[in-house]
Structure 1
Amino acid sequence: MKHSFSRNTLRASRRSAFTLVELLVVIAIIGVLVALLLPAVQAAREAARRCSCLNNISQLALAVHNYEFSTEHLPSGTINPTGPIRSEPEGQHISWLVQILPYVEQHNAYRLFDQQAGAYARANSEVRALTVGLFLCPSFPGSDTNESLPSYGGGYQQNQEIPERGIAARTTYAGCHNDQESPIDADNNGLLFLNSQLRYTDILDGSSQTILIGEYRADEDELGWVSGTRATLRNTDRFDENDFLRNNRRQPQKKLPPAGPLDVGGFGSAHPGGAQFAFADGSSKMISDNVEPAVLQQLGHRADGKLLKARF
């Protein structure tokens, strides 16, 4: 009787174990479930990042509005004695982001920044290296700072001591300086450009149809958010390798020459399907990458007098 009971127990224990085939089937099922769920998780995360990005650009537009309410004009896209602006670390180049610091709860950074010394002076190295979360899209795949810059010049005041290397915190948001590719200068037709101090009455095409701020993909050689160069200003005409419109089939797929110091470039995004924009009336939305290029160009001009013939 004892032997019979032991054999029955052994058979039951053997029957309860997994076979190799069953184990492989379970692993395969788990793999399929992970493969199905992973894109959904990634899409949910990107949707959250896109919402956060839209909030960022909306907050920047609100800060510009508050600045205008206090000063009765929009901030200058860049402050510099003369133009056109070259994307090089020489000059005053005070960006519009520096000017709105008090309106994005960065009072200490604004207080510590020496505007007379200029964006590249050693006196401003601490603020220049400051990463401001509001200035970065959560989907941006690059680093928060650019530490590979050449040595900065002495700043606007040439007697400033020259630092050994430049560190600049990045931004992925830029003001619209023009509706076509041209140097940043005082005769641009956007909203933020060289020494501009526009009023809302200057926006003849309507504030809801004029781009104020948009996303772009920060290049590796950008000079940071303190710099009023192509690091913080873009136009609605040029579609380069960082542009969200590059994949639009209606655009010619041609290679562009390397960007020179007077080249500015267009808007762009790390989001699939389009990029986020804020308009002069304070509204914000994503513009699809299927937008007509001519429509996007019109949105960059504050007073071209033309009718928008397509939706955006």
Structure 2
Amino acid sequence: MTNSHRFIRPAFTLVELLVVIAIIGILVGLLLPAVQAAREAARRMSCSNNAKQIALGLHNYHSAYKQLPIHGGGPTNEFENSTGAAIRTDGRGFTRLELSYLVGLLPFVEQQAMWEMVSNPLNEPDGDVWPAFGPRPTLGSYPPWATDVPTFRCPSDPGFGLPALGRTNYACCTGDAFYDAEEGATIWNTGANRWEYETDARQMQRVRSGMRGAFVTRKSMKFRDMTDGLSNTIMFGEIISGLTDRDKRSVSFTNAKGGFVQVANNPKRCQDIGYIDPLRPRFWTAAANVTFSERGSRWADLHTLQTQMNTILPPNAEVCLVGSSDTYGMAPPSSQHNGGVHVSLCDGSVRFVTDSIEAGTSTTPTIYYRALSSEVSSTTPPGSPSPFGLWGALGTRASKETIDEDF
């Protein structure tokens, strides 16, 4: 065969190849957001399923024990209460009644193995000895407190590792006020060197006035207490865990805010001081001097920053505590989902609440009663309907608000 009859195979030119690559790049660029959105939708659904499992676990717990798990419980030393003594590693540590509602929930969310470890004494090879229910839940060397429980984590939340211990993304609702959400109904009587189990008259007056949610710290709560209706009362809500990045939803700052009265009388106190970054409104400025004990860092810990939420400020608003990381204050729910958060109502249903839910006027004083004649109580008196609109009303269990709109 002569060269003139030889078959010549067609091929791409360089220009054609570049055009094809460009087209593929454009298609990938168009499809990537859709793929990311689909992945987040799947994660959001998984988060909702976790919330449903926790809600079902709470209902099963209530069926078994005729009450919700106590937020702020655990066996303790009746004659000693120092934080240093509570974290001893020789078998004499104790909880200080600081265990969250999630600890008692363990066997009801398919965590029987973890429950067996927590509820029995533990002797470790390194010589550490732990009593049943462990030491104070701030101690990371006790294995259960440093373990992530998958059901307690939202897959959209990227937080992991130190300085947090075992993280959580689900916090119990203590209502539309915050006084006294750290101590609750049972307090340590320093003078008598003993615990007062709902026997201190002034403390009980404070709690009845200001702790209006489904959970009251260190007190047994039952579904019968939710007289506003189980379908009208939030049981728990979603929170982000801290990423050590000054996110206003996960950390508060320690600069002087004026103390309890100033924060309680203006829930937007932390914003009004001017420490939110105007260019990045989800973050505190560097001048805020934030304390990096962060939201959701200890699933076993009762403290406000760790496992409590309230319905004072709307979802995804800033955390604003009265003092350091173990004090009370504004603790709205938050999430890594766009536009809102998951909450579970006391009837076990899970709803997605948007950031724009009607929440009244956020500078209205919260409800608190200080009991001592030398102290001034709130200008919003105890027994008032929630001053924080539909959102606040959903946080109260027995304030007789009418829920007449969808959310």
Taking structure 2 as the reference length, what is the TM-score of the superposition?
Answer: 0.61
Identify if the C-alpha distance between structure 1 residues 93 and 292 changes in structure 2 by more than 3 Å, giving closer, same or farther.
Answer: same
Q: How does 1:82-231 map to 2 (within 5 A)?
A: 91-113=96-118, 114-115=132-133, 117-120=135-138, 125-143=142-160, 145=161, 147-148=162-163, 168-184=165-181, 185-186=184-185, 187=207, 188-220=211-243, 221-222=293-294, 223-230=297-304, 231=306
Matched AA of 1:93:
E
Shift of 1:183: 4.1
In the other structure, the counterpart of 2:129 is none
Distance 1:195 1:234 in 2: 16
Residue 227 of structure 1 aligns with an amino acid whose one-letter code is D
Q: For 1:296 and 1:73, how far apart are their aligned partners in 2?
A: 25
Quote the residue 1:70 is aligned against: 64
State yes or no: 1:237 paired with 2:237. no
Give the whole-Å Cα distance in 1 for the aligned partners of 2:100 and 2:152.
13
Given the superposition, is the C-alpha separation of residues 271 and 18 from structure 1 closer, same or farther in structure 2, using an over 3 Å criterion? same
Q: Which runs of 5+ in 1 are unaligned?
A: 150-167, 247-254
Which one-letter code corresponds to 2:173 in the other structure? C
CA displacement at 1:193 relative to structure 2: 2.7
2:336 aligns with one of 270, 277, 289: 270
CA distance in 1, matches of 2:111, 2:43: 23
Tell me if the contact between 1:178 and 1:236 (Cα under 8 Å) persists in the aligned partners.
yes
Q: 1:189 to 1:120 in 2, by over 3 A?
A: same
Quick check: 1:92–1:119 contact (8 Å CA) kept in 2?
Answer: no
Displacement, 1:219? 2.5
Q: 1:60–1:257: structure 2 CA closer, same or farther, 3 Å change rule?
A: closer
Structure with higher RCO (Cα < 8 A, 6+ apart)? 1
Please provide the CA RMSD for this pair: 2.7
Off by >4 Å, runs of 4+ in structure 1: 255-259
Q: Assess, with a 3 A threshold, how the Cα gap between structure 1 residues 117 and 256 changes in structure 2: closer, same or farther.
A: closer
Counterpart residue identity of residue 95, structure 1: S
Contact 1:205 1:303 in 2 (8 A): yes
The alpha-carbon deviation at position 238 of structure 1 amounts to 3.2
Change (3 A) 1:120 1:92: farther
- Aligned residue pairs total 270
Runs of at least 5 residues in structure 2 that lack an aligned partner in the other structure: 88-94, 119-131, 186-206, 244-292, 360-388
